């Protein structure tokens, strides 16, 4: 069999990973139980630890030849947060034929699923609680020197056993700085940057093709939280210019019209913060006090 034929066979096996397939990581063997989904950067499966079937996890698979590999980045981000009590944990990693995989914490339903399947509107109290959990997860990521750049409901999920909400999918994350001897050493911002994120939740700076920072993640978080209460004005728009206009010119009046006073207060802080290091702390203090 030629190298090309062998590679084609391996590629077909990757694309058709079947239930029961076993992969070998650096520390354990894992058996595929079912496929969870597929995205632009690879496929996600539920796996079971072969040596201890009580342990289940999520496995993300990506071809090594990917032009913009994300698994290596996700591993780096997760490793930086390994000592955090709350968050997704990297459990193993390895190679499988011409692909690489990452084994991580298995979560429950994501917020997009909850948003799509909730039979009645979420209460302000419930959304406040969800918003605080999500913002805390964002803060943990930021505190380790990364911006997420793809904040949206599908990238937050409830713990499989518990009630906390965890942030997912770091394939678009970017290191913005490092903390040395108690002081932040910020990475120099590029004058322009490719668009990152989702059009519906992207910040104004993302539309302007500027470097994204902590405040941009929080801006996207605000759009997400508002959507949990009522549909965003641009929900059915597909043209980027029209969406950007709605965000710039209509969002503030929209939250006033819907009497979302807490969201208006948050918006004022976000808009004025630029790249403030403590923006999440300010918001968490304000939201926690008003929630109580």
- Tell me the DSSP string of 11-70: HHHHHTPPTT-EEE-SS-EEEEEEEEEEETTEEEEEEEETT-TT-EEEEEEEETT-SS--
Virtual torsion, Cα 47, 93, 168, 36, nearest 10 deg: -30
Is 60 annotated as contributing to ligand binding?
Answer: yes
**Distances from the Cα of 254 to the Cαs of 25, 28, 58, in angstroms?**
50, 52, 39
Please report, for residues 42, 125, 127, 264, 276, the alpha-carbon distance to residue 225 in angstroms, rounded to integers and kept in the order given.
27, 12, 7, 12, 21
Residue in 150, 169, 216, 217 annotated catalytic: 150
86 close to 164: Cβ distance less than 8 angstroms: yes
Question: Residues near 245 by Cβ (< 8 Å), separated by ≥ 6?
Answer: none
Ranges of beta strands (E only) in 190-288 are: none
Active-site residue flag, 143: no
Binding site membership for ATP: which residues?
60
Binding site membership: which residues?
60
What positions carry a catalytic annotation? 150
């Amino acid at each position: 069999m030629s190298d090309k034929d062998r590679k084609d066979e391996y590629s077909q096996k990757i694309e058709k990973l079947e239930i029961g397939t076993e992969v070998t990581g650096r520390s354990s063997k894992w058996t595929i139980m079912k496929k969870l989904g597929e995205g632009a950067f690879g496929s996600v499966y539920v796996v079971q630890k072969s040596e201890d079937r009580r342990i289940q996890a999520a496995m993300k698979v990506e071809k090594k030849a990917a032009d913009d590999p994300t698994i290596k980045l996700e591993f780096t981000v997760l490793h930086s947060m390994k000592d955090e009590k709350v968050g997704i944990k990297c459990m193993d990693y390895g190679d499988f034929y011409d692909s690489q995989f990452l084994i991580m914490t298995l979560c429950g339903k994501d917020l997009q699923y909850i948003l799509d399947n909730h039979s009645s509107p979420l209460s302000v109290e419930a959304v406040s609680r969800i918003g605080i959990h999500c913002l805390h997860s964002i803060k943990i990521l930021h505190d380790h020197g990364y911006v997420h750049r793809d904040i949206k409901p599908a990238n937050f999920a409830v713990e499989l056993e518990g009630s906390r909400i965890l942030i997912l999918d770091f394939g678009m994350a970017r290191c913005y700085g490092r903390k040395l001897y108690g002081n932040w050493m910020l990475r120099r911002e590029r004058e322009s940057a490719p668009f990152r994120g989702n059009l519906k939740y992207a910040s104004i700076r993302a539309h302007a093709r500027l470097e994204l920072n902590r405040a941009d993640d929080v801006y996207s978080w605000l759009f997400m939280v508002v959507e949990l209460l009522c549909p965003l004005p641009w929900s059915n728009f597909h043209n980027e210019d029209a969406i950007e206009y709605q965000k710039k010119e209509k969002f503030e009046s929209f939250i006033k019209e819907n009497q979302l006073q807490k969201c208006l207060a948050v918006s004022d802080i976000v808009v004025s913060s630029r790249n403030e290091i403590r923006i999440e702390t300010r918001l968490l203090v304000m939201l926690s006090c008003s929630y109580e």
